[in-house]
């Protein structure tokens, strides 16, 4: 870059406003370096909505500086808008970084964790004090949220506090012109944290040996626990059945698919289809797990029966250094935990819990303070959709157009998460997991305490789900009991889904919402889960819903789709179901089936539910795809994966007043099975039926109410086929369709919807 030594008197002052994600990512020091390189004087400052720069110079000089800023911005920055205008002349002596005392500025200082950057990977090779240093980082990359204890963001408030910088690191840290200026976790081979491998053969802290032994172990089918950025991973070769078996055994009944980390994009491409947007997601600095369509089978036990595979690319220097020597092009990398518990973050606890299960433990001695899982995204019609919001996203705030100060959305239960309002910012917690697990609920509460401290949050209004027994609701009630000054309101689950979609898209006014999921408590005391509503941020009106069906055995039926299959069949065929020559009826004994129909007839432990999720369960069971689920949404995922894409037919259904009945559909499915129609065809026809239903209801409602903005919400829309087809059909009919993107469409997004509704209802209080 040329140094500007313009001899002419600079008699003009320009103001440049930069908007986007430009805070907490080393942007101001970057602007400083860029300005001094251009020989410009002035200042840079963080503002609520971006960064402002004022400089003296000629128009062409300043324009070239502006172009440099856009072209060379730090990895994790994303510039959305740059405005430059001339303002009255002001003389500047130097270029300085101005500190601002605004609270919301310090909130946005906390960046999510950032994948190692290109320059650091280069430094790994040729910077003498960092050759092969596995915890290398700079202002543009490295751990952030996972190591922060408190504000302001500086080293003493991170888990790097106990490491004293060597003179070399300190000189880089103090030099405004260095890429490591104020990089809080800066470290090198002389002074930084180190890795350690422990296994039966002994312990070593020699990094070269750690890599060599890890490669040997992994190739031999070992299962390793490896400390990542926000928690431990369980790691084995994706092409060695022994490692996968060990993992399956350790995770017990869990049949959940595992995510893979590939050496690079080229290797990944051999196993999955990667579109342009998906590629951008995979290499983005957030480095999420991206759900991608499989090209063929990979080793058994990884994602059996599913059409997609969760894929990520290396994001820590250790991953790169390991893959350099590793033979296998892909590793299974899954959360280091036992079933529903939170991922482990402490070296001691991992040793305690995993010894005997794993063949080695790889740790480093920098503490993880904030637990943060890998995030999961999927690309729907070229738009990335976050399904699990954690590493790389947390705690980036979502900017909204309204005042949310002091409001807490406590979230749902199965996918716990909360969301707090500071000014116009919505701060969503990382994914915590199923709150019904005691340790997960503790994690949720601990995270809440930490967020309160970190973001200087004082609750004034708590918004919870309508369900009185959700642990998040109980948590909300306790906050209110402890402090009567806090107000408390409840929000219906499916309304919150739609509100979170509205918030994500920045919509206001009334929309038509399709809120499809497993279950949520309705305002009539029944379980809902397939709601068509007219909604705004204050209230909603239920226009249509699926017919209520018996859920034989209650909660048990959500884990055993065959029960729902029997429920639907019983409704269609009554006692004749015993004569049906279909796999579901043949698979279970007369007595087993009789027990279920008995529960239904006598209404014992059989609540009535109106649920899209349960309908998917029923069809998956009737087609023989899934009788017992070993993980959440297994049946719907298998049904989606089974789709024969060449089939465009559908089944009939009925609409009576506000209820949609699927008796005709179930009859059609059974007839098809009896005719020997393939499962793929049945699955396709089933999906097309729902697409047609949504289109028909949308047209009908638009005809009456004029609503033409449609928000899709709820876990069912994680189904890519369904979401894509629905959007396509609706857009063809000139509807505007919105699917939450940055806010998860599933129950993790409930908290954000609650927050938005709370903010609007408060105005009426
Ligand atoms: Zn870096
Ligand atoms: Zn050092
Ligand atoms: Fe839900």
Dmax (CA) of the chain: 96
Q: How far is the CA of 141 from the centre of ligand 1 (A)?
A: 4
Q: How far is the CA of 169 from the centre of ligand 2 (A)?
A: 4
What value does the mean pLDDT take over residues 424-443? 95
Q: How far is the CA of 568 from the centre of ligand 1 (A)?
A: 56
The pLDDT value recorded for residue 48 is 65
Architecture of the CATH domain 545-738: 2-Layer Sandwich (3.30)
Eight-class DSSP state of 747: G
**pLDDT-based confidence at 61, cuts 50/70/90?**
very high
**pLDDT-based confidence at 531, cuts 50/70/90?**
very high
Name residues with Cβ closer than 5 Å to ligand 1, which is an ion: 117, 120, 138, 140-141
d(CA 88, CA 8): 18
Q: How far is the CA of 392 from the centre of ligand 2 (A)?
A: 26
Q: How far is the CA of 497 from the centre of ligand 3 (A)?
A: 7
Structure tokens given for 397 = 């705030």
Residue 479: HSE in the Cβ half-sphere, 13 Å Cα cutoff: 25
Structure tokens given for 538 = 């204050």
- pLDDT tens-digit series, residues 228-250: 999 999 999 999 999 999 999 98
Please report, for residues 112, 131, 193, the alpha-carbon distance to residue 160 in angstroms, rounded to integers and kept in the order given: 16, 20, 8
- pLDDT tens-digit series, residues 741-750: 999 999 999 9
The pLDDT value recorded for residue 104 is 56
Beta bridge partners of 659: 545, 656
What value does the mean pLDDT take over residues 592-596? 97
Q: How far is the CA of 710 from the centre of ligand 1 (A)?
A: 42
What value does the mean pLDDT take over residues 423-446? 95
Q: How far is the CA of 546 from the centre of ligand 3 (A)?
A: 15
Cis ω on the peptide bond leading into residue 208 (within 30° of 0)? no
Question: Do residues 35 and 98 make contact, with C-beta atoms less than 8 angstroms apart?
Answer: no
pTM for the whole structure:
0.94
Q: Does domain 195-364 have CATH number 3.30.70.1560?
A: no
Q: How far is the CA of 75 from the centre of ligand 1 (A)?
A: 9
Q: How far is the CA of 179 from the centre of ligand 1 (A)?
A: 8
Q: How far is the CA of 187 from the centre of ligand 2 (A)?
A: 5
399 compared with 750, residue with greater pLDDT? 750
Residue 197 has pLDDT above 60, yes or no: yes
- pLDDT tens-digit series, residues 706-726: 999 999 999 999 999 999 999
Q: How far is the CA of 714 from the centre of ligand 1 (A)?
A: 37
Which one, of 706, 742, 698, 713, lies nearest residue 499 by Cα? 713
d(CA 179, CA 122): 13
What value does the mean pLDDT take over residues 103-119? 81
Q: How far is the CA of 393 from the centre of ligand 2 (A)?
A: 29
Question: Do residues 258 and 247 make contact, with C-beta atoms less than 8 angstroms apart?
Answer: yes
Angle of helix 561-573 relative to helix 612-622, nearest 10 degrees? 80
Q: How far is the CA of 227 from the centre of ligand 2 (A)?
A: 22
Beta bridge partners of 608: 550
d(CA 341, CA 352): 15
Fold of 110-192: DHBP synthase (3.90.870)
Q: How far is the CA of 193 from the centre of ligand 2 (A)?
A: 10
- pLDDT tens-digit series, residues 475-508: 999 999 999 999 999 999 999 999 999 999 999 9
Name residues with Cβ closer than 5 Å to ligand 3, which is an ion: 517, 747
Q: How far is the CA of 211 from the centre of ligand 2 (A)?
A: 22
d(CA 758, CA 421): 10
d(CA 463, CA 475): 11
Q: pLDDT averaged over the chain?
A: 94
Eight-class DSSP state of 645: T
Residue 80 has pLDDT above 90, yes or no: no
d(CA 113, CA 744): 19
What value does the mean pLDDT take over residues 123-130? 97
Q: How far is the CA of 170 from the centre of ligand 2 (A)?
A: 7
**pLDDT-based confidence at 110, cuts 50/70/90?**
confident
Residue 9 has pLDDT above 70, yes or no: no
**pLDDT-based confidence at 21, cuts 50/70/90?**
confident
Q: How far is the CA of 391 from the centre of ligand 2 (A)?
A: 26
Lowest mean pLDDT among 329-343, 676-690, 740-754: 329-343
The structural domains of the chain, with segments of one domain joined by +, span 12-97, 110-192, 195-364, 392-508+744-762, 545-738
Lowest mean pLDDT among 4-18, 192-206, 376-390, 460-474: 4-18
Rg (CA), the chain: 28
Q: How far is the CA of 162 from the centre of ligand 2 (A)?
A: 13
What are the DSSP E strand ranges found in 547-658? 549-550, 608-609, 654-656
Residue 105 has pLDDT above 70, yes or no: no
Asked if the domains at 12-97 and 392-508+744-762 fall in one CATH topology, the answer is no
Residue 100 has pLDDT above 80, yes or no: no
Which class is 12-97 in CATH? alpha beta
d(CA 124, CA 188): 10
Residue 6 has pLDDT above 50, yes or no: no
d(CA 128, CA 188): 10
Q: How far is the CA of 716 from the centre of ligand 3 (A)?
A: 9
Q: How far is the CA of 565 from the centre of ligand 2 (A)?
A: 63
- pLDDT tens-digit series, residues 457-469: 999 999 999 999 9
**pLDDT-based confidence at 658, cuts 50/70/90?**
very high
Structure tokens given for 291 = 């759900």
Q: What are phi and psi of 704, to 5 degrees?
A: -90, -50
Residue whose tokens read 């000189």: 171
Q: Distance of alpha carbon 755 from its chain centroid, rounded?
A: 18
- pLDDT tens-digit series, residues 597-620: 999 999 999 999 999 999 999 999
DSSP string over 468-530: TTSHHHHHHHHHHHH-TTSEEEEE-HHHHHHHHHHHHHT--S-EEEEEEEEEEE-TTSSEEEE
Architecture of the CATH domain 392-508+744-762: 2-Layer Sandwich (3.30)
């Amino acid at each position: 870059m040329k140094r500007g030594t313009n001899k002419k008197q600079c008699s003009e002052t320009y103001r440049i406003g930069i908007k986007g994600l430009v805070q907490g990512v080393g942007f101001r020091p970057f602007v400083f370096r860029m300005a001094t390189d251009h020989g410009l004087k002035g200042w840079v400052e963080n503002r609520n909505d971006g960064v402002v720069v004022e400089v003296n110079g000629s128009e062409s000089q300043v324009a070239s500086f502006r172009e440099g800023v856009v072209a060379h911005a730090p990895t994790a920055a994303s510039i959305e808008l740059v405005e430059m205008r001339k303002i009255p002349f002001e003389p500047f002596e130097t270029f300085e970084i101005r500190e601002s005392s605004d609270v919301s500025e310090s909130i946005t200082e906390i960046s999510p964790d950032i994948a190692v950057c290109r320059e650091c990977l280069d430094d790994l090779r040729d910077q003498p004090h960092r050759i092969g240093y596995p915890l290398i980082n700079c202002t543009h990359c490295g751990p952030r949220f996972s190591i922060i204890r408190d504000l302001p963001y500086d080293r003493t408030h991170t888990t790097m506090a106990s490491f004293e910088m060597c003179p070399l690191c300190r000189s880089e840290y103090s030099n405004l012109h260095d890429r490591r200026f104020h990089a809080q976790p800066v470290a090198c081979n002389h002074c930084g944290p180190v890795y350690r491998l422990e296994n039966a053969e002994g312990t070593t802290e020699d990094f070269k040996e750690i890599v060599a032994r890890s490669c040997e172990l992994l190739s031999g089918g070992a299962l390793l626990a490896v400390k990542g950025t926000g928690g431990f991973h369980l790691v084995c070769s994706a092409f060695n059945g022994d490692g996968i078996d060990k993992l399956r055994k350790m995770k017990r009944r869990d049949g959940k698919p595992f995510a893979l980390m590939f050496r690079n994009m080229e290797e990944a491409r051999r196993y999955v289809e990667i579109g342009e947007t998906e590629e951008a997601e995979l290499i983005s600095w957030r480095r999420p797990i991206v759900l991608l369509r499989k090209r063929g089978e990979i080793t058994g036990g990884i994602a059996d029966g599913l059409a997609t595979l969760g894929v990520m690319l290396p994001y820590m220097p250790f991953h790169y250094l390991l893959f350099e020597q590793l033979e296998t092009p892909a590793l299974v990398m899954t959360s280091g935990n036992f079933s529903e518990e939170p991922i482990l973050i402490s070296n001691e606890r991992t040793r305690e819990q995993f010894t005997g299960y794993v063949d080695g433990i790889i740790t480093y001695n920098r503490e993880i303070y904030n637990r943060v899982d890998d995030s999961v995204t999927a690309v729907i019609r070229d738009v990335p959709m976050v399904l699990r919001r954690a590493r790389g996203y947390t705690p980036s705030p979502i900017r909204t157009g309204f005042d949310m100060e002091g409001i807490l959305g406590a979230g749902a239960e199965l996918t716990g998460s909360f969301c707090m309002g500071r000014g116009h910012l919505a701060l969503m917690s990382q994914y915590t997991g199923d709150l019904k697990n005691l340790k997960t609920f503790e994690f949720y509460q601990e995270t809440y305490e930490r967020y309160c401290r970190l973001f200087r949050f004082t609750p004034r209004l708590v918004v919870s789900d309508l369900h009185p027994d959700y642990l998040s609701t109980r948590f909300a009630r306790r906050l209110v009991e402890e402090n009567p000054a806090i107000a408390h309101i409840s929000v219906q689950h499916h309304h919150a889904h739609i509100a979170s979609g509205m918030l994500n898209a920045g919509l206001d006014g009334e929309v038509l919402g399709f809120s499809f999921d497993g279950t949520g408590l309705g305002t009539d005391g029944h379980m809902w889960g397939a709601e068509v509503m007219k909604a705004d941020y204050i209230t909603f009106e239920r226009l249509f819903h699926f017919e209520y069906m018996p859920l034989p055995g209650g909660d048990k039926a959500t884990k055993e789709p065959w029960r729902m299959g029997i429920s639907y069949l019983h409704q269609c065929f009554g006692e004749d179901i015993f004569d049906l020559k279909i796999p579901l009826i043949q698979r279970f004994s007369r007595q087993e089936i009789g027990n279920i129909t008995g529960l239904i007839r006598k209404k014992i432990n059989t609540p009535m539910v109106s649920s899209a999720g349960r309908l998917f369960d029923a069809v998956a069971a009737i087609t023989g795809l899934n009788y017992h689920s070993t993980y959440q949404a297994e049946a719907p995922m298998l049904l989606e994966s089974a789709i024969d894409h060449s089939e465009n037919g559908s089944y009939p259904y009925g609409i009576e007043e506000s209820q949609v009945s699927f008796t005709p559909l179930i009859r059609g499915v059974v007839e098809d099975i009896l005719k020997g129609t393939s499962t793929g065809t049945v699955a396709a026809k089933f999906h097309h039926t729902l697409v047609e239903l949504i289109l028909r209801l949308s047209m009908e409602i638009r005809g009456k109410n004029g609503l033409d903005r449609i928000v899709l919400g709820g876990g069912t829309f994680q189904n890519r086929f369904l979401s894509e087809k629905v959007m396509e059909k609706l857009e063809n009919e000139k509807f505007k369709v919105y699917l939450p993107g940055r806010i998860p469409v599933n129950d993790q997004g409930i908290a954000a919807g609650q927050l938005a509704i709370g903010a609007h209802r408060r105005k009426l209080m």
